[in-house]
């Protein structure tokens, strides 16, 4: 899926790397202050682990191993973990997906970018594989305290809920994985913020999301790779911290810190639940749509199947935000309800064939997205030429990579890009025939939501 949760795989939480580093000014420290003795750092870590245990109610089940590392060691560790998590084929497929959606150029090298993107922000991290807290030797005491609060919360989460298992249980569903990542990072960010607030109860405050978002944006200048990266990467990197914190705040209000344990045994299934915690808290039905491989392309010569996936509300927010504007994304993404996409590539021309199906909150929001995606198509394909057959709810056109069709059917939008010329009529007919499959998906997912409600959520 295009919107892979790279950070949660590189390892889990390069920690307050993004949150502490962006939300608070990162001061310059002398070599003397950065080189605190190992004994003092380890004692500080042990004390903070005790504090986080008392705050969260998660008992310390075993001592946490600790190791002091420098920047070069952090970089090497991240590279090793990156290659542990992603095969060359997976990385290539992810590059293909990003290119197909128009989010990166053909000369964009994903692996080198991601390594720079995350090593730039590293400020210490907990590694669930080795059960070790890696403490950066260049971080000053105030920032170190926040980093340790964040990362040692991960250590407690791992001891009780096995973070590797928790996140990778849904590795084939990137939107669900992002939702779980928001639980993991959101709670760790919440403990870090609560530590900074002192006696003020985080649960008693209004949502901090509207305050944190602009604050983070003000600070990105100190991270050149981050601040110059495509909007998609920046938005998705901040999501588990900002929206995750909001989700945790909403759940804290329903029962305090011990109540958060249920988020690991009964996790959210979509990023929509993170953006709108009431969907999770009230166990609202989660609709779904199916998208089988089209019969129209069954015998298309030279097409290589790549992948199918789900963008989720997070994916649509990031995509529209980059290709149109963040303001436009905020008006349309909350109306997202379900989606699927399919991706093929022509082995000779290297062009992509992308097929999508989306369900929206109403026919009006589907029409709004229809217009937005029409604008995105014009952005992706400057030579896009409309056909006289286009109408209010139907766009047909041609581009250098093939034919394009975009249609609205009630509360759905469906489209296909890069369709071989001889397959266009069959593709339009097939897209129209998808009506009726949504209701079955809704019933199935609603039943799942009902089971969740029966478990107490």
pLDDT of residue 183: 98
What is the C-alpha to C-alpha distance for residues 441 and 310, in angstroms, rounded to an integer? 14
What is the C-alpha to C-alpha distance for residues 161 and 150, in angstroms, rounded to an integer? 16
Helix, strand and coil percent figures for the chain, each rounded to 5: 55, 15, 30
Q: Do residues 118 and 17 touch, judged by C-beta distance below 8 A?
A: yes
Residue indicated by tokens 């649960």:
203
What is the C-alpha to C-alpha distance for residues 148 and 125, in angstroms, rounded to an integer? 8
pLDDT of residue 103: 96
367-370's contacts with Cβ under 8 Å and 24+ in sequence apart are 367/393, 367/408, 368/331, 368/332, 368/335, 369/332, 369/335, 369/413, 370/395, 370/406, 370/407, 370/408, 370/413
353: helix, strand or coil: strand
The set of residues, in sequence order, having a beta carbon less than 8 Å from that of 447 and lying 6+ positions away, is none
386: helix, strand or coil: strand
Q: Residue 385: left (phi > 0), alpha (psi -120 to 50), or beta?
A: beta
Q: What does the radius of gyration of the chain's CA atoms come to, in whole angstroms?
A: 23
- Rounded to 10 degrees, what is the CA torsion of 115, 118, 120, 126? -120
pLDDT of residue 14: 34
Within 10 angstroms of residue 119's Cβ, the number of other Cβ atoms is 21
What is the C-alpha to C-alpha distance for residues 252 and 303, in angstroms, rounded to an integer? 50
pTM of the model: 0.89
What is the C-alpha to C-alpha distance for residues 126 and 15, in angstroms, rounded to an integer? 8
Q: Parallel, antiparallel, or unpaired: how do β-strands 352-360 and 385-386 relate?
A: unpaired
What is the C-alpha to C-alpha distance for residues 36 and 329, in angstroms, rounded to an integer? 45
- Which segments of the chain have a pLDDT < 50? 1-36, 437-457
The DSSP element (H or E) to which 147 belongs, if any, is helix 141-161
Integer CA distances (angstroms), 152 to 43, 191, 192, 239, 453, in order: 13, 10, 10, 20, 31
pLDDT of residue 454: 37
Paired with 133 in beta bridges are: 66, 126
Token pair recorded at residue 447: 């039943």
What is the C-alpha to C-alpha distance for residues 152 and 336, in angstroms, rounded to an integer? 35
């Amino acid at each position: 899926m295009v919107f892979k949760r790279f950070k949660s795989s590189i390892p889990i939480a390069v920690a307050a790397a993004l949150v502490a580093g962006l939300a608070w000014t990162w001061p310059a420290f002398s070599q003397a202050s950065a080189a605190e003795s190992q004994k003092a750092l380890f004692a500080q870590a042990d004390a903070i682990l005790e504090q986080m245990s008392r705050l969260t109610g998660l008992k310390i089940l075993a001592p946490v191993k600790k190791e002091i590392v420098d920047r070069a060691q952090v970089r090497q560790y991240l590279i090793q973990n990156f290659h542990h998590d992603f095969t060359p084929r997976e990385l290539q497929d992810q590059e293909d997906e990003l290119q197909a959606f128009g989010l990166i150029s053909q000369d964009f090298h994903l692996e080198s970018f991601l390594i720079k993107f995350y090593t730039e922000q590293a400020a210490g991290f907990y590694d669930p594989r080795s059960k070790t807290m890696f403490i950066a030797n260049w971080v000053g005491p105030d920032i170190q305290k926040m980093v340790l609060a964040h990362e040692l919360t991960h250590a407690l989460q791992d001891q009780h809920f096995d973070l590797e298992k928790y996140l990778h249980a849904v590795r084939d569903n990137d939107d669900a994985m992002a939702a779980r990542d928001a639980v993991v990072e959101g709670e760790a960010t919440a403990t870090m913020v609560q530590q900074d607030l002192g006696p003020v109860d985080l649960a008693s405050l209004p949502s901090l999301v509207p305050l944190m978002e602009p604050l983070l944006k003000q600070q990105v200048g100190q991270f050149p790779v981050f601040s110059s990266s495509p909007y998609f990467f920046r938005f998705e990197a901040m999501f588990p911290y900002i929206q995750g914190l909001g989700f945790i705040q909403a759940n804290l209000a329903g029962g305090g810190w011990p109540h958060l344990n249920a988020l690991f045994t009964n996790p959210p299934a979509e990023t929509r639940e993170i953006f709108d915690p009431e969907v999770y808290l009230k166990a609202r039905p989660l609709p779904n749509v199916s998208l089988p491989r089209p019969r129209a392309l069954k015998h298309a010569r030279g097409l290589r199947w790549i992948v199918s996936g789900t963008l989720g509300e997070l994916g649509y927010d990031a995509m529209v935000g980059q290709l149109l504007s963040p303001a436009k994304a905020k008006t349309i993404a909350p109306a997202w309800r379900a989606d699927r996409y399919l991706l093929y590539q022509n082995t000779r021309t290297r062009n992509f064939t992308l097929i999508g199906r989306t369900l929206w909150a109403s026919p009006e929001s589907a029409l709004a997205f229809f217009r937005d995606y029409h604008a995105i198509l014009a952005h992706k394909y400057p030579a896009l030429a409309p056909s006289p057959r286009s109408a209010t709810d139907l766009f047909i056109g041609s581009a250098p990579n093939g034919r394009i069709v975009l249609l609205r059917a009630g509360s759905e939008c469906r489209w296909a890009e890069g369709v071989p010329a001889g397959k266009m009529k069959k593709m339009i007919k097939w897209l129209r025939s998808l009506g009726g499959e949504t209701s079955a998906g809704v019933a199935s997912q609603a039943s799942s939501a009902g089971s969740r409600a029966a478990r107490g959520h």
